[in-house]
Structure 1
Amino acid sequence: MSGSSLDSTAQTEVDPLVGIDAKTSWYPTARSWSRSRRRILGYKGLEANHYHVMSRTCGGAVFFDDTEKEALRRLIWRVAEFCGVEVLTYCVMGNHFHLLVRVPHHEAYLERFDGPEGEKRLLSHLRVLYSKAYVEQLEADIRQWRRLDQETAVQVKLQGYKDRMADLSRLVKEIKERFSRWYNKRHERRGTLWMDRFKSVLIESTLHAKNDEPPTTDVVRAMATYIDLNPVRAGLEASARDYPWCGYGEAMGAGTRKARRALCRVVERPVDAWETQDVAEVYGRMLQSQNAFSVPSPEPAAVTEGSAPEPPDALTIFREAVVLGSQAFVEETLGDRWRSRSCELMGRLGTVFSVGRRRARAPDGS
């Protein structure tokens, strides 16, 4: 074994997260991305769309230890920065993770890489995820292609990076694939780590309501509290602030700037207002007020002949929905596909908003 390999092995033994913090090196034969399947996406005319994302390990049987939760937490922030996606909050549990993200309009986001300095800005941006050696090799390749009058090759290569930005499916795919490689190496295992593809819920934001009937509940805030209260529902902590692998816990514990700025956005405060506008207290009160999200949902009551079924509780709706927002938002988004199921009302939050639900399936329990 070479000296460099020995050094690398020793470093991994000292710090198991060294691999997750490492940036992508140059791989001449690296494969390209495949196109993702279609899912319910937001309006292209909006500045941004909000989504709740959840993904679970195969069969829920793989459980992450604290080091692995920390690795996934770090990876989420770094990949999101590369993709130009804002993480508003998140939660990494033992066998699944949740994200609440704001995905900007794809074409509008890419405008920052236009103009005479656009290529330079793009190459600088790549350093978020790629090593210095990788970017330098890419720059050398670009110079060589241009010497050979192969400008098309340059643009195709650069467009490949742009295509991965401001895209929900690419974001989650990148997180899951990178984490899988690190996890499998750590455990000397092979094979699939994640169950199927991820679940996503399109959420109407009161800031970007497309119609004249905004949701009477701020669904983005409600979803944020639902996500941050995961460890409380699971009985891991009495308070979300004590769980270091969720947005609120990170903001209150480690106090990272990213987590605090994200929660400032959730409560619609300036991004640097954490200290000056008591954002921690405001969001903490929001968490305390969401009793429906802090305890497991009860078993559904039996429906007898002639009786009306009980309305779905808050947890069931947040688990099974594909769209959350006002009635007009849900119906316009789903169209005629699930029209008959797109107007269920939820009162457990103290307000009412419409819900587009998935076709009948067992709740995932998250």
Structure 2
Amino acid sequence: MGRIRKKVLGQTAYYHLMSRTVNGEALFGAREREVLRKMIWQVCDFSGVRVVTYAVMKNHFHILVEVPSEGTVVSDEEIVRRYRRLYPKPTPWQPLRAEVLAGELKRDSLEGRELRKDLLRRMHDISTLMKTLKQRFSLWFNRSRERFGPVWSERFKSVLVEGDRWALRTVAAYIDLNAVRAGLVSDPKDYRFCGYAEALAGSRIARAGLGVVDKDLAGYRQTLYRSGAAEKDGKEPISREEALRVLQEEKGKLPLAVILRCRVRYFTDGMVLGSEKFVEEHLKTMKDRGIRPRRSHPMSGADWQGLSVGTGLRKDLFG
């Protein structure tokens, strides 16, 4: 993806971000996933971006983020707090101590003004966020493994998601069900590297993130398990292959929660996701900026309650 600023009609914006390891290799054990989980919170805090939910897997990760609207004011005290979060100690790449930064900002010196400008430029920007996160993790990973070379494959993917609660809840559920789709757990609460499990474990910041999509965790769990998502009578839920058969051969719709337990390309390969009006508005702004024109497509395969996507994936819903 190219550089993506927070400018979305002057409003708070939501993005589903995803990146995969080189060649899709399962490089991450429990230790690596835990380090990446902590880095997600750290880098997003510095960026001033709220994590709605996330999932860290063996070869990729997903984050659903809320980006503040353009013009959001960040005080010098907040700049220093965020800086200290990202750089608790001086490093060869960033030797400036937080105390020195605070002094320069307070004096409003020439150096302080330049530092303020540079740090603010890096905030509220998902391209910079992902670059920082992936570079930091790659450095740690290669050093811990005594290896060199790339960790991540192509540039990250991003899907602009409408701020409507239904659209956000649907994308969040897709993310938190990653470990279920991979067969690692039967219940997302048992997978420690996702936002839902972290919220259930008592994390206030994770609970606050999911508060964006539902008023409480009980309501969100109903989204995760509605319409037969859990096992019934000791039987496994419907498989991806069975879902494809029903959709392609029988032309039938499946319960939404069942579809969410399959890998659906809408959530990773789309450009914009939300109501038809929302998608059309943002595709028009992309066209005005010279990006190849697209059009809105209603999402198929389940009752998506009016959700559309800004790219044509109707021939193959699944990845």
Q: In which range does the TM-score fall when normalised by the shorter chain?
A: 0.7 to 0.9
Tell me if 1:259 matches 2:206.
Answer: yes
Q: Tell me, what secondary structure is at the counterpart of 1:112? A: coil
Counterpart residue type for residue 199 of structure 1: K
Tell me if 1:243 matches 2:191.
Answer: yes
Aligned mate of 1:107, from 47, 67, 71: 71
Is this contact kept in 1: 2:34–2:193, CA < 8 A? yes
| CA-CA distance at 1:174 after TM superposition | 1.2
Tell me if 1:122 matches 2:79.
Answer: yes
Tell me if 1:135 matches 2:89.
Answer: no
Is this contact kept in 1: 2:6–2:67, CA < 8 A? no
Q: Which residue of 1 aligns with 2:234?
A: none
| CA-CA distance at 1:310 after TM superposition | 8.8
CA distance, structure 1, for counterparts of residue 109 and residue 122 of structure 2 = 21
Q: Which residue of 2 aligns with 1:27?
A: none
Q: How many percent of aligned residue pairs carry the same amino acid?
A: 37
Q: Which residue of 1 aligns with 2:271?
A: 322
Counterpart residue type for residue 188 of structure 1: E
Aligned mate of 2:39, from 75, 78, 85: 75
Q: Which residue of 2 aligns with 1:45?
A: 10
Q: Which residue of 1 aligns with 2:171?
A: 223
Is this contact kept in 1: 2:298–2:306, CA < 8 A? no
* Alignment TM-score, normalising by the size of structure 2: 0.80
* Alignment TM-score, normalising by the size of structure 1: 0.70
Deviations 1:168-222 (A, max 9, x none): 1111111111111111111001111111210000011126xxxxxxxxxx11000
CA distance, structure 2, for counterparts of residue 311 and residue 285 of structure 1 = 20
Is this contact kept in 2: 1:319–1:364, CA < 8 A? no
Tell me if 1:171 matches 2:129.
Answer: yes
Q: Which residue of 2 aligns with 1:7?
A: none
Task: Say if 1:74 and 1:40 are closer, same or farther in 2 by CA, change over 3 A.
Answer: closer
Q: Which residue of 2 aligns with 1:332?
A: 281
Return 5+ residue gaps in structure 2 as ranges: 91-96, 231-236
Is this contact kept in 1: 2:157–2:269, CA < 8 A? no
Task: Say if 1:224 and 1:160 are closer, same or farther in 2 by CA, change over 3 A.
Answer: same
Counterpart residue type for residue 132 of structure 2: E
CA RMSD between the two structures: 3.4
Aligned mate of 2:296, from 342, 356, 361: 342
Structure showing greater radius of gyration is 1
Return 5+ residue gaps in structure 1 as ranges: 1-35, 114-118, 208-217, 270-278
**Structure 1 segments of 4+ aligned residues over 6 angstroms from their partners:** 309-314, 358-364
Q: Which residue of 2 aligns with 1:205?
A: 163
Is this contact kept in 2: 1:247–1:259, CA < 8 A? yes
CA distance, structure 1, for counterparts of residue 282 and residue 307 of structure 2 = 15
Aligned residue pairs, count: 293
Task: Say if 1:65 and 1:363 are closer, same or farther in 2 by CA, change over 3 A.
Answer: farther
Deviations 1:266-311 (A, max 9, x none): 20x3xxxxxxxxx22211111001668976534856x99xx9x999
Q: Which residue of 2 aligns with 1:297?
A: 240
Of 291-300 and 123-132, deviating more is: 291-300
Is this contact kept in 1: 2:7–2:70, CA < 8 A? no
Q: Tell me, what secondary structure is at the counterpart of 2:155? A: coil
Of 123-132 and 65-74, deviating more is: 123-132
